[in-house]
Each structure stands twice: as structure tokens, then as C-alpha cells.
Amino acid sequence: MNKLNLLIGAVGLAFSTLAGAQAYPSKPVKIIVSFPPGSVIDTTARTIGQKLTDLWGQPVTVDNRPGGGGTGTVGAEALAKSPADGYTWMVQPNSVMVIGPQLVKTPFDVFRDFAPVGQVAITPFLLAVATTVPANTVAELVAYGKANPMKLNYGSSGNGSPQHLGGELLKLNAGIQMVHVPYKGANQAITDLLGGRLQVFIGAAGSLFPHIKDGKIKMLASAGSRRLGGYLNVPTIAETLPGTEVDAWLGVYMPTGAPREAIAKAGSDITAVLNVGETRNTLSAQGIEVVTTSPDALTRLMRDDYARWGKLIREAGIKAD
């Protein structure tokens, strides 16, 4: 074969390779969720999946893998063992990514085994009390708690849950004593809050708003870093007790080693579809606030929260169920 034939062959191979290359994504994408259908995490993942399916023309489906309690071990382990080709993701809350690993031994390392794509949402938390509690502000609750040590019961969805950590943070910063009552789920705790068997609860706004609107419980404050839209007259806990901030955030992850172009494309398009006004409003009505960030920003958030909650876990001697 002469040099001309070799050159023609090389050019033909190059064009063939380019023609065969397909833009990402070129096949279906799966999003692992460590919680059952109907949860906030599931709702967020399904919204992302449907919007990206419409945008890409490729199916983006949710694979529910509940198990491991609030630590989300089953779903996270499944992602860690998945091919790092950009076609398997997961949506996880901070309870799985920064709290659980400090309470139980996990078969994965959240900083080593996962590639952050970006934060996608916050589930705002509120401080609510039973109508029988003689307090309408955070300051009044603190004063009542100091005057009545161990008379206030606060509930959670289990030991080591965000509600548990929120209650312990409130106790620590307010200098009051309250009794922790763990349940097997937030709904059970809210039922007892409505009945007056619990006096205090820090939990997801979406679960509490219907009862607040009906006047069955009282909202004292937003538990997050800012006041809630639509409730700007309601202060944050931190305005009275600096440093008392509790939110549940959600992030998207791929396995470590996933192609950079897949991470960039997924992050860019997730941001685009979630920030459409109609989508934001639909999620907001379900107690989910869209907050989209870069991979680096999510990594910083994870490390900051890991340190913050780790300090509280050690100081309060918090153990998992």
C-alpha cells in the first residue's frame, strides 16, 4: 500500500469515527433515589427526569432503592458500584451525604466515591409548636423552656435524623433542656404534635404548612438561613439564636470518574429545566425550593455541613437508631 492509500485510509477512519460519535446523552439515564416514591427526594428526581426526557429525547427514569434507614446506604452503594459512564446518577439529601456517614459505617466514602453535579433544591424546615405551648416567638419559647426544664418534648423521625439534630442545636444554642422523642417517621411525630403529646418540632415546611394554615399548630420561625417567600413576616430562628440553622438540601451525583463533559452537560441542563418559572412554582407548592449550584459549590457545602453537623453530633453524643 503506497503513502497515498495510507493517507486516504487514515482520513476515512477519522471521518468514520466522527460520524459514529454521539453527543451525550446517547442512551437512557437512570437516577437512583434512596427513598420510596412520594418522598420529597423522589418528587424532585422525577421532576428532573421528566423535564430532561422532554429536552433530550432520551428516557431519564427514577430507580427507587430504599434501605439503610435515613442513611440511604442501599441507594448510595448502588451508585458507587455503577459504571462511571455518566448514565447513572443519584439525588440525595444532606442526611445521606453528610449526617449518616458520621453515625453509621457505610460501604462508601461520600468524598471519594461520588462526583458532585450540583445542588438542585432545598426543603425548608420550620420551627413549630403545639397550640398548648404559651409561646408565639422564639424568644418566648426559650424563656418558657428555661422556666420549665424537661417539660418540653420535641419529636423527630428517628435518632440522627435532621429533625433530631435540629432539636439538639436549638437546645444547645438556647441553653434549654428538652426531651427527645424519636419516631419511625415524621408523620407520626406531626400527629403527636397536633394532639399535644409533643410540644416542639423542627421539620419540613411542606409537611407542616397544611396544619399551620388550619391553625392546628403554631409556626414560630423558619429554621433555615433566610425567611420564607410568602412568610417574610416570620423570622428565622437564627435572628434570635445565631447559628441555629437547619435545612434539608438535595444534590445530584454521579460515580467518581464520570466523564467531565457528562457532568457539565447534566449540570447545565438540570439548571435550565429547574429554573423555568412553572417548574419552580410547582415544586414550591410542594415545599421544595429550587437552588442550583456548580459541582464545586456542592462540594464546599458538603464539607462545611460535614464539619458543622459532626461537631454537634460529637458534643451532643448523638447515636443512630
In a domain, 6, yes or no: no
Q: Which residue, 193, 213, 239, sits at the end of a domain?
A: 239
Do the domain assignments include residue 258? yes
Considering the domain architecture, whether residues 258 and 229 belong to the same structural domain is answered as no
Residues 128 and 205 in one domain: yes
CA Rg value for the chain: 23
Domain range for 42: 29-122+248-316
- The pLDDT, as a whole number, for residue 77 is 95
CATH number of the structural domain spanning residue 53:
3.40.190.150
d(Cα 71, Cα 251) in Å, to the nearest integer? Answer: 15
Q: 138 and 115, same structural domain? A: no
Least confident of 11-20, 56-65, 152-161, 257-266: 11-20
CA distance 89 to 79: 7
pLDDT tens column, 201-245? 999 998 899 999 999 999 999 999 889 887 889 999 999 999 999
Same domain, 131 and 234: yes
Q: Has residue 223 been placed in a domain?
A: yes
Q: Binning pLDDT at 50, 70 and 90, where does residue 11 land?
A: very low
Query: Same domain, yes or no, for 131 and 235?
Result: yes
From 211, 239, 267, give the residue that closes a domain: 239
Residue 215 is assigned to a structural domain of this protein: yes
Quickly list DSSP for 242-261.
TT---EEEEEEEEETT--HH
> Which of 182, 209, 239 is the C-terminal boundary of a domain?
239
**Residue 139 maps to which CATH number?**
3.40.190.10
- Among residues 45, 46, 65, 58, the alpha carbon closest in space to that of 120 is found at 45
Inside any domain, residue 12: no
Is the same domain home to 257 and 228? no
* Residue 253, domain member (yes or no): yes
185 and 277 assigned to the same domain: no
Question: How high does pLDDT run on average in the chain?
Answer: 91
139 and 235 co-located in one domain: yes
Q: Please indicate, yes or no, whether residues 148 and 290 belong to a single structural domain of this protein.
A: no
pTM to 2 decimal places: 0.86
Per-residue pLDDT for 18 more than 70?
Answer: no
- Cα–Cα distance between 161 and 102 in angstroms, integer? 12
Using a pLDDT cut of 70, give the percent of the chain over it.
92
150 assigned to some structural domain: yes
303-308 CB contacts, 8 Å cutoff, 24+ apart: 303/111, 305/94, 305/98, 306/98, 306/101, 306/102
pLDDT tens digit sequence for 210-219: 999 999 999 9
Burial class (CB in 10 A: 0-12, 13-18, 19+), 265: middle
Q: How far apart are CA 116 and CA 299, in angstroms?
A: 7
Instruction: State whether 134 and 58 are in the same domain.
Output: no
Same domain, 163 and 220: yes
Q: Give the total number of structural domains in the chain.
A: 2
Taking a C-beta distance cutoff of 8 angstroms, is the pair 74, 48 a contact? no
User: Are 107 and 53 within one domain?
Assistant: yes
Which residue type sits at 150?
M
Whether 17 is covered by a domain: the verdict is: no
